Amino acid sequence: MKLIRCAAVLLVTFAMAACGTGQPELPVPDAATPSVAETSTAPNQLTAAEEAAGWKLLFDGATFDGWRGLGRDAIPQEHWVVADGTIHKVSSGNVPTAPDGQPLEGGDIMTVETFENFELVLEWKVAPGANSGIKYNVSEDMSMSAPPRHAALGFEYQIIDDDAHPDAQLGPNRTAAAMYDLIGPSSQKQLRPVGEFNEARLVFRGGHGEHWLNGAKVLEFDLASDEFAALLAASKYASIEGFADRRAGHIVLQDHGDDIWFRSIKIRELPPPETH
């Protein structure tokens, strides 16, 4: 099998079987249920149409309700704050880091709930030269089994200043909207300038995943494909047993030491793919 290159469906749900993935199509909403980008006019709110389509907020704009530190009972508050309707990862300053640059102090934060088949949308922006990520399919126990203990192991939607952070110069699979260290984004990528909010969208259903940026699908993958197996074998994750196993996992916001802002974090659970 190979990575799927289908045309994007421009509604809230996506036709997963359009290019022979073996997965049935999700029901496509009618014209009365426009996309998230079209219906949301204010941060951290859901419209009636979104609620009817099954969306729920993961961030209420004012508190960390529903979140905690990975491997912790609470949020590491010196590193994460709620300010101006955003979750703000505060720059850690000059602190000890792991070889991959993640700080040994602070740590990632994650949803208390776990999700298996879902569509996730959020807005993010970076400070100049900043690096972070949205991780999914995350096992807390697996993450804590390897140092640093408060950093998630999972698939990552890369968030980064493509122009000023050195990691983005190491290849397309380290740039914004990439599946970190695995798959780079396509030429459809349109990244907004540093300091402006971008919209990330993730679809993860069965063995199929998609990354979207600002309304355009920039990559997709099939966990069962030979191509994905080869990419995994060549990645930093190759030696981690069970890394790519499907699970009900946490959604994680990464602490990579830099100033990052997140808002309008919303999710809807999708039906599992039918088996034949």
For the record, the structure tokens of 203 come out as 């679809």
- pLDDT at res. 111: 98
- How confident is the model over 49-66, as pLDDT tens digits? 999 999 999 999 999 999
- With beta carbons less than 8 A apart as the criterion, state whether 114 and 250 touch: yes
The answer to whether residue 169 scores a pLDDT higher than 90 is yes
Q: Give residue 14's pLDDT.
A: 39
Of 258, 264, 124, which is closest to residue 196 (Cα–Cα)?
124
pLDDT digits (tens, 9 = 90+) for 17-56: 333 434 334 443 333 334 444 445 699 999 999 999 999 9
Q: What confidence score (pLDDT) does residue 147 get?
A: 86
Q: How far apart are CA 6 and CA 217, in angstroms?
A: 10
Q: Which domains does the chain have, with CATH numbers?
A: 36-269 (2.60.120.560)
Residue 38's DSSP bridge partners are none
11: tokens are: 């509604």
pLDDT tens digit string along 100-159? Answer: 766 776 699 999 999 999 999 999 999 999 999 999 999 999 999 988 889 999 999 999
User: The whole model's pTM is what?
Assistant: 0.84
**Three-state secondary structure readout of the chain:** CCCCCCCCCCCCCCCCCCCCCCCCCCCCCCCCCCCHHHHCCCCCCCCHHHHHCCCEECCCCCCCCCEEECCCCCCCCCCEEEECCEEEECCCCCCCECCCCCECCCCCEEECCCECCEEEEEEEEECCCCEEEEEEEECHHHHHCCCCCCCCCCEEEEEECCCCCHHHHHCHHHCCCCECCCECCCCCCCCCCCCCCEEEEEEEECCEEEEEECCEEEEEEECCCHHHHHHHHCCCCCCCCCCCCCCCEEEEECCCCCCEEEEEEEEEECCCCCCC
